[in-house]
Structures are given as structure tokens and as C-alpha cells.
Amino acid sequence: EIVMTQSPGTLSVSPGERATLSCKASQTISTNVAWYRQKPGQAPMLLIYGASTRAIDTPDRLSGGGSGTEFTLTISSLQSEDFAVYYCQQYHNWPRTFGQGTKVEFK
């Protein structure tokens, strides 16, 4: 199975700052990656698919990039609702696999 590795584990950021999250796949997966946000006590929510396509309701301050094995999620100016845990997931093949998550917390 494809292993997804996210970094850093925790990112401490101030509101209004820029945050960049990374995700690396153990083999090439083209752009078959999605990003999810999970707030405490809630289900994950799809933010980005196809590495860079925003899902409905995803604000344009969130952007995804990358292809092959390395991917990024960038939040250009953090708002209060952005402080959460983010997961990348590959859907290049089965089984689907998730990264271990990056927690974005208040600095």
C-alpha cells in the first residue's frame, strides 16, 4: 500500500500568517491526492482534490499543489476556522491511505 507522510506534525502559526503543510507519497501518485480538515469533535471535511482543485465551499486562501510524490497545502492568511488538523489522502489506488495529520495551532 502507498504510505503518506505528512510534515510537520504540529505547526504553530499566528492569525493572518501563512502556513504550508507537506505530504509525501511513498510512490508516484500523479495528482491523486485530497486534503481534509478536521475540527475537534467533527468529521473530516474535503478541502482539495486532484492535488489543487478546491472543493465546494473551500475558500480561495487555501491552495494545493504538487504532483508525483510531493504535495503541499498552503493557507495564505490563517483565520480562526483554519486552526485544526489536516490530513492528506491518496486515491491513486486501493486501499486508500491517509497521512498521519498535521495540527495547525495558535502560536
Site residues (vs other proteins, CB under 8 A): 1, 32, 34, 36, 42-46, 49-50, 53, 55, 87, 89, 91, 94-101
DSSP class of residue 22 equals E
The nearest distance, CB 33 to other proteins, in angstroms, is 9
Complex with other proteins: residue 31 or 69, whichever CB lies closer: 31
Torsions phi, psi for 92 (to 5 deg): -70, -40
| Residue 14 vs 42, nearer CB to other proteins | 42
At residue 56, the 3 state secondary structure works out as coil
Cα dihedral 9, 17, 51, 26 in deg (nearest 10): -20
CB of 83 to other proteins, least distance (A): 17
Minimum gap (Å) between residue 43 Cβ and other proteins: 4
Q: Among residues 44 and 75, whose Cβ is nearest to other proteins?
A: 44
Distance in angstroms (rounded) separating the CA atoms of residues 58 and 66: 18
| Residue type at position 36 | Y
Q: How far is the CB of 26 from other proteins (least distance, A)?
A: 15
* CB nearer other proteins, residue 1 or residue 17: 1
CA separation for the pair 69, 56 (Å, rounded) = 25
